[in-house]
Amino acid sequence: MAKVRFLAHGTSWEVEVPVGTSVLQASKQIHAPEGDACGGVCACSTCHVYVTRGKELLSEAEEDEEDILDKAFDVRLSSRLGCQAKIERDGEIECEISRESLDAFYNEHPQVPDPRKKR
Ligand code: FES
């Protein structure tokens, strides 16, 4: 099993998942606010995360993913598309959810209050 921790706006979510699970699937299990506008088929960049720990435990990015990331916002060396990054080995993984992913999630889920917005 791999332990995956998601970080966003000062909150963290943690889940244990078997090898073969994608980062996006892991986030969905614990309702971490990661967007998925295209439904996880590598056609948007709303599942964009920064893998701050355990990048080596994930599948390599393929060309399709690199092409989409070229059009994403604030891309860093640690950037991955959560739907394409599959966990290949046990260990600890930490992902910071990108701003574009958070924006997409809270737009898609208006019933979930966005803690970044002041009331
Ligand atoms: Fe659209 Fe990952 S959910 S590329």
Residue 118 lies in a domain: no
pLDDT of residue 95: 98
Asked if residue 34 is part of any domain, the answer here is yes
Q: How far is the CA of 54 from the centre of ligand 1 (A)?
A: 20
Enclosing domain of residue 83: 2-108
* Tens of pLDDT, residues 25-72: 999 999 999 999 999 999 999 999 999 999 999 999 999 999 999 999
Question: Phi, psi at residue 59, to the nearest 5°?
Answer: -60, 155
Task: Decide if pLDDT at 105 tops 90.
Answer: yes
What share of the chain has pLDDT > 90, as a percent? 97
Q: Whose CA is nearest to atom 4 of ligand 1?
A: 42
Indicate whether 115 belongs to any domain.
Answer: no
Q: pLDDT tens across 67-86, in order?
A: 999 999 999 999 999 999 99
CA of 82 to the centre of ligand 1 (A): 7
Q: Is 114 within the bounds of a domain?
A: no
Is residue 46 domain-resident? yes
CA distances 95 to 29, 92, 111, Å, are 15, 10, 24
Which among 95, 115, 82, 93 has a CA at the least distance from the CA of 1?
A: 93
Q: Which atom of ligand 1 is nearest to the CA of 35?
A: 3
pLDDT recorded at residue 103: 98
- Global pTM reads 0.96
Q: What is the domain count for the chain?
A: 1
